[in-house]
Copies of this chain bind each other. A is one copy, B any other.
């Protein structure tokens, strides 16, 4: 039996979008492939509120996180972390011998503008990374306030992991001055995993031009230059199936209306949060709770894996806590094509199973 996924990726994918994954193949060196890529990029620019170029990558979002920090760090990167995915970005830097320092706050709290300001004022860093939405803790960092601070340091490349937020909440890339904004297919975009994408600014490209060894597959400058030269085709064969599905899904997203979409996410988040506060407690500080996933503190000391098993028999799936938070938290994602009604049904089932 198929379980409806309320996990923070892969998310539930609509049947019509799944069917687009079964589109017959075309050559990737054809006008058709160029047009497909161009169409996707145009629509993504709307979703991201940017004029910047869009790069697609046949990989998970982690691949583009590697690409960003390796391609564009000349001096030293400041990696801000409030959970697992911030820590991953730092590990990626270390794996690539990219000079970097990690600034981690207690899990459940956010990276704050003052912290960013303090770090950048040292003058040591020319690139910073922020996890916009940390799925391990349910924290959504205050990216707009952070952006105001980053603007004080025009030499710094501003990179955002928006993997689990873009498409579920408004991120105005150009207004915020985000140089590289990364997301992947299997979260708020409502597609299967396997494709990631980012916007990239002229400033980030300029920085990359000064970095000598940027690697190959995730060299953002090489990708950028290739698509300019080769009419929006890619150096190696991309996942055309995901591109067909993404192009279709972006039409659906734009048809829903971005503001409507973000409002739907906000309402789902609010509903889950109220439920969580009533039955359990929030893991994240309330003012930094995410619009796309709620991390619930397991104050009742229920067995989360047993709950998920019982939910599975009813056709639902949520997430246990991440890593060290396993069994200490449970996570409910409310992203992509899920509706408030889906959320109500899920929570009613949890209540019934737990006798709440």
Contact = CB atoms under 8 A, between A and B. Distances in A.
Interface of A: 2-3, 5, 7, 9-13, 18-19, 21-28, 58-63, 66, 70, 91-92, 95-97, 184, 186, 192-195, 212-219, 222, 235-242, 317, 319
Given A58-B193, A97-B213, A193-B58, A317 B24 contact: no
A217 B238 CA distance: 17
Given A60-B58, A194-B238, A216 B92 contact: yes
A300 to B, nearest CB: 23
Contact of A216 (B3, B21, B95, B319): B95
Nearest to A241: B192
7 contacts: A60-B237, A61-B236, A62-B235, A192-B239, A194-B194, A194-B240, A194-B242
| Assembly stoichiometry (copies) | 2
A214 B96 CA distance: 7
Contact of A240 (B7, B66, B193): B193
Given A58-B58, A66-B215, A192-B240, 8 more contacts: A5-B27, A12-B25, A13-B24, A60-B217, A62-B216, A70-B215, A194-B239, A217-B217
A24 B219 CA distance: 32
Contacts of A222: 95
B59 A27 contact: no
Nearest to A24: B2
Contacts of A236: 60-63
